[in-house]
Each structure stands twice: as C-alpha cells, then as structure tokens.
Amino acid sequence: MKKLGKIVLILLIVSIILTSCFSIDRKKENIKEQIIQNKKYDLTYIQPISIHQNGRDFLQSELPIGNFGGEFITSTIGEGPKTFNPWTAKDNTSTEICALMFDSLLTTDVNTGEVKPNMAKSIEISPDKKHYKITLRKGLKWSDGKEITSDDILFTWNDIILSGYGNTSVRDSVTIEGHLPKINKIDKYTVEFITIKPFAPFLRFLSESIAPAHILKPIVKQGKRAFDSYWGTNTPPNKFVTSGPFRLEEYVPAQRVVLKRYDNYYMVNKNGKQLPYLNKYVIQIVGDLNNELLKFEAGELDVISVRGSDAARFKMNEKKGNYKLYNLGPNTGTMFFAFNLNNRKNDKGNYFVNPIKQIWFRDKNFRTAIDYAIDRDSQVANILNGVGSPLFTSEALGSIFLNQNVAKGHKRDLNIAKDYLRKSGFYNDKNGILHDKQGNIVEFDLLTNAGNTEREAIGVMIKSDLAELGIKVNFKPIEFNTLVGKISNSFDWDTMIMGFTGNTLEPHSGKNVWYSNGPLHIFNQREEKDYNKQLLDFEKETDFLFEKGASELEYEKRKIYYNKFQEIIAKERPMIYLYSPLRLMAVKNRIGNIQPTLIGGVIHNIPEIYIK
C-alpha cells in the first residue's frame, strides 16, 4: 500500500504541475491557430518599439523597470564550450554562450512565433516575396567602439556563411534548388537579400550572428583552418569584439564561464536606461545532472532544467526552496537511437563501420525489429517518472507541423520484432543468442555522452531490451568531445543515443540533419567529395520533400510535405525516436522579469532580467 500511495502522490503532483501552467500550453494552440489563419505566416513580421535618442536607434523593453546590478548564475553539463566563435559552433553550450556575445539582425517573438527586428530597425518584403530589404538601427556599436554597418552584414553572409566557413548549417538551409541568396548593399545601413523564388523559412535564418568585418576579414583571408581556430576557448577575453548584451570576462576550463555587462548595448528600458540590468552572467560547468541538482538546491544556481524523475520533489519543495517551477509543455528537441548506415571507406581503404554490422544496420527489417523491441513506456515511467510521452516522430510533440498519425506510434511487441528478424534470416541458437543468416553473432556498440545520466539510463534500458532478442549491446558512455569527433570526423561508430534541439515553428531548421549532405546527417554522414554518391532511396525523397516544403508559403501546403517526410522516417527508421519529456524549469524567486513561453523558455529575455 505504501508503494501505491507514493505512485498516487506522484500522479497528483504531476497533475498539479500541468494544471497550474495551462495558460502557457494554451499559447501553443493560439500560435497554431494564427498560422492556419495567416496563409503567408512565414513571411510576416512584427515591429517592436524603437526610440531615437542621442542620434541612435534603440530597442525599447516593454517589461517593468528592474534593478541594475548583480549576477545571474546558470549551468551547463559536460566539459564546457568548445569555441567562442559563433560561426563555427556546433554544440549547444557554445552556441548559447555565443548568442549572449553576438547579436543578430532578426529574432523570433517568443509569444506569437513571428519574426521581428533585432539589430535591424525595419524589414521590407517585396510583393513577389523574393526581395528582403533590411535596415540596421543607426548607432549600433561593436565593443571596440566601431560602428556596425551594412558592410558587416555583407561580410558575414558573403565571406563567412555563403562561402562555407565554419558551421555550414545556415548556408545549407538557405540554399534553394542549388542556388544561394544574393546580398546587395543599398547604403551604409541597408542591405537587400534576394532569393531565386519565394522561400517560406528565409526570414528565420536571418537570425544568424553578425560578424565584425574589420576584425575577421584578415582572418578569413588566411583560409578556413585559420578561421575555424580563431576565437577559441584559449583566447584572452580582451581580444573579442562583440555586439551582444554580454562580453566574455573569464573562462576557467571545466569550472565556469563569466560574462560581464556590455555597457553600450542598444536595448533600453522605459526610462531610456541602457540594458542589460545584470552586471554578470555566470555559467558553472558541472560534471553531471546530479551535481547540477545539488548546486541548485544549495542556492548556487538561479535556474535549472528539471528532470521528470525530480518533478515531484521540486514541486513539493517549491516554497521551501524559494523558487518557482514552470511547465513549458513538450520538449522542443528530440531524443533518439541512431544507426550508422555509412558503408564508405576512409582514406586508408578501411570501412568506417564493420561490413558485417553494416549489412544489419542497412536492413530495414533489422531496424524495425529494434524499434519494436525498445520499451518507450518503461523509459517514460522509470526515467521521467511519467512526466513525458513516448516519441515516434522526427518532429517534437509541440511542433505545429507534427504528423499526428505518425505520433500515435505503437506499443512494444517482441513477437513482431522477432518476426521482422526472421524475415531477414536472423535466428537464435539454443542459448538464445541472435545470429545473422551467415552465422555471425549479432553484437554492436552503443555510445552516448558520459555525464548525462538521463541518456546513460536510456542506454542501460535499451541494452536490456535488446538482450531479450538475443542481441549483445556493448553500452559505452564516452566524453562528449570524443563523441562529436566520431559523428563529424571519423564516422567510426555503430549506434548511439543522442538528442537534437528543435524548432517548433520551422521544420526546415532540421535540414542540416535530414538533407543528404547536411553536416548533422549523422546516420549516413559523408565527406564533401562524395555528397552525391550512394544515396539511399529514402534520402533522395527527403531531399525532395525539404525543397518543396520550403518553397510553399501556405501552412496547409507546407504541412503536406512535412507530413510525408515524417511518414518516411517513421517507416525507414534510420533514427528511432524514444520519448519527449515535459520542459520543466525551476527559477529562483530573486529573479525578476521572468516571462516563460513555449518557444523561448524562461530566460530568453536575458537583457531584461534583473535581481530583485
């Protein structure tokens, strides 16, 4: 009875969490309704309040006036940032830190989902939807005092992004039927982007950081290797020339990143005082999720992402701990189990993946059997304590483009799994060990990043699930940098558990994962020299669907293509999706101007956040 009572208590607390944040969940429906009603949604924008003072165009905050001073303390899991160069960053930690240091032309309104100006003062879109005139705010300053102009925009896009420097995800995403956009300078503050045809997601990709041409142009001329290594983690803080609300003050590897207030930022409060309010933004680098939790409870952190397994504990201790727990709805990212389908050879003539394993992984029956053997319901119950749902789609459950039919998924069924294995000649010996039709024992490695206790728990459970089919899984959590190297460089891995961030408003943001030459097309990654070789049939089809989906402007027409895309991935299973936790965030009550939303999370408006 005690165990039953505990389960009832957990379910009751989870129910309270969901009910208390119903208004946030309702915003998602409002956004979706707005998109359906506005057929040209992806090419619309809203205009924030701007004021002109002292010869400069400032962006005005609409939130209550706060206190200046103090420091905000957050955290990150793992080894910390890999770079402070936003155009080469590929990991989430580096990307988030760079976003505090370097600003963008446009951004997304976290309440409506619409695009809005940021460093830009205004946007003009031509009637043919192919010309985008962007005008900068006057008086924007780099941290070294030099004015930010249209030359910086041209340099960023022509010399860095479109020339393929650093992370090529943005270049790949704005390539339309093989054509890159063109950028023309109109005057000192105005540029015009031109696409070959109307392209629904285009405005959203103008949220890329703008680079200081006077600093980086000489580096770019030295070549990609010089650029990729520039502004690395060993660069002295005073060498950075930035535009965002914060500047790097200190980086201590494996311990902390400290950013300080940029005094000349272009955002002001209602009294005309320049933001941000905070003096410092501190990111503590913690070894694992459990250590992070302890630091929050000890008062060393102001915000933490709460695991489902800790939801009941956090809700019960909310008042005592002097924090508030927010439910932001389904996670915007996806957690998955991926196969390495790469059957190519490296420069030494050796296969990236063992040829025997490659036959298994490329067999759709084998992948389907693995899918049916994985117990998602147990993962949700045991890892998330029920605070989440099984996931079967490449789109997050909160996505406005979610294919509801695919999202229904299926229950675990070992009999179905075994049937699929038999179809391809697999069999179990008298000891229950699985063999392929050539008699090879089925055994492979499963990787994930060490220190992420949630993914480590998934790995243990999948190892156990597949053992029931007679498959031996060698589960090996490894250091995150090593894992990233295997994904992007050496390609020598069998299977892995990984997660990707997502965009609930724009599926085209996933082009870098799903397009056949995308830098994060991990299940069949290849080098640039053989991008167009040995494509699987479904890869050709997804390439086509992404091109068509981005070319349509109406929501319903776009959704047809992305529905089909999700159906293909669910059928082919190169990546098997696992579950979607609720996004639970705890924030200390000492933090003011917290504005939680589905799209932005809880600290999206960091320049406006203050210490009470």
pTM of the model: 0.81
What the block records as the tokens of 20 is 């208390």
For the stretch 285-316, what's the b/e string if a residue is b when 16 or more beta carbons lie within 10 angstroms of its beta carbon? bbeebeebbebbbeeebbbbbbbbbbbbbbbe
End-to-end CA distance of the chain: 45
Domain layout of the chain by residue ranges: 41-233+590-611, 341-582
Of 569, 521, 581, 508, which is closest to residue 205 (Cα–Cα)? 508
For the stretch 63-75, what's the b/e string if a residue is b when 16 or more beta carbons lie within 10 angstroms of its beta carbon? beebebebebbbb
Q: What is the mean pLDDT of the chain?
A: 89
Locus of tokens 């389907």: 368
Q: Where are the beta strands (DSSP E) in 128-172?
A: 131-136
Say if residue 367's pLDDT is above 80.
yes
Query: In whole angstroms, what is the distance from residue 516 CA to residue 535 CA?
Result: 8
- For residue 527, the model assigns a pLDDT of 65
pLDDT in tens, 544-580: 999 899 888 888 899 999 999 999 999 999 999 999 9
Amino acid at 607: P
- For residue 28, the model assigns a pLDDT of 43
Query: In whole angstroms, what is the distance from residue 571 CA to residue 69 CA?
Result: 54
* Lowest pLDDT segment from 262-266, 299-303, 405-409, 600-604: 600-604
Angle at 153 between CA 142 and CA 118, to 5 degrees: 70
Helix-helix angle 537-551:555-572, to 10 degrees: 160
- Report the 10 Å Cβ neighbour count for 440: 15
Using DSSP's 3-state secondary structure scheme, residue 307 falls into: coil
Q: In what order do the strands lie in the sheet with 50-53?
A: 50-53, 56-60, 267-268
- Report the 10 Å Cβ neighbour count for 217: 15
- Mean of pLDDT values over 241-262: 97
Using DSSP's 3-state secondary structure scheme, residue 320 falls into: coil
* Contact indicator for 391, 376 with CB cutoff of 8 Å: yes
* Contact indicator for 360, 436 with CB cutoff of 8 Å: yes
For the stretch 351-360, what's the b/e string if a residue is b when 16 or more beta carbons lie within 10 angstroms of its beta carbon? bbbbeebbbb
Can you give the C-alpha Rg of the chain in angstroms?
25
Using DSSP's 3-state secondary structure scheme, residue 264 falls into: coil
Cα–Cα distances in angstroms (integers) from residue 303 to residues 199, 275, 283, 297, 585, in the given order? 37, 21, 11, 10, 7
- For residue 14, the model assigns a pLDDT of 44
Fold of 41-233+590-611: Dipeptide-binding Protein; domain 1 (3.90.76)
**Architecture of the structural domain at 341-582:** Roll (3.10)
What the block records as the tokens of 606 is 């960091």
Residue 285, beta-bridge partner list = 76
Query: How many CA atoms does the CB half-sphere of 149 hold within 13 Å?
Result: 10
- For residue 326, the model assigns a pLDDT of 93
Amino acid at 281: Y
**Alpha helices (H) in 383-452, listed in sequence order:** 404-407, 414-423
* Contact indicator for 475, 443 with CB cutoff of 8 Å: no
Q: Peptide bond before 236: cis, by omega within 30 degrees of 0?
A: no
pLDDT in tens, 385-440: 888 999 999 999 989 899 999 999 999 999 999 999 999 999 999 999 999 999 99
Query: In whole angstroms, what is the distance from residue 94 CA to residue 85 CA?
Result: 8
pLDDT in tens, 49-77: 888 888 899 999 999 999 999 999 999 98
Query: In whole angstroms, what is the distance from residue 142 CA to residue 102 CA?
Result: 10
Using DSSP's 3-state secondary structure scheme, residue 244 falls into: coil
Predicted confidence band of residue 296 (pLDDT cuts 50, 70, 90): very high
* Lowest pLDDT segment from 144-153, 281-290, 371-380, 524-533: 524-533
Q: Helices then strands (H, E): number in the chain?
A: 19, 26
* Contact indicator for 311, 385 with CB cutoff of 8 Å: yes
Query: In whole angstroms, what is the distance from residue 395 CA to residue 562 CA?
Result: 9
Q: What are phi and psi of 95, to 5 degrees?
A: -60, -45
- Report the 10 Å Cβ neighbour count for 317: 15
Query: In whole angstroms, what is the distance from residue 238 CA to residue 250 CA?
Result: 10
Locus of tokens 């959590």: 477
Query: In whole angstroms, what is the distance from residue 34 CA to residue 320 CA?
Result: 40
Greatest C-alpha distance within the chain:
84
Same fold? 41-233+590-611, 341-582 = no
Say if residue 542's pLDDT is above 60.
yes
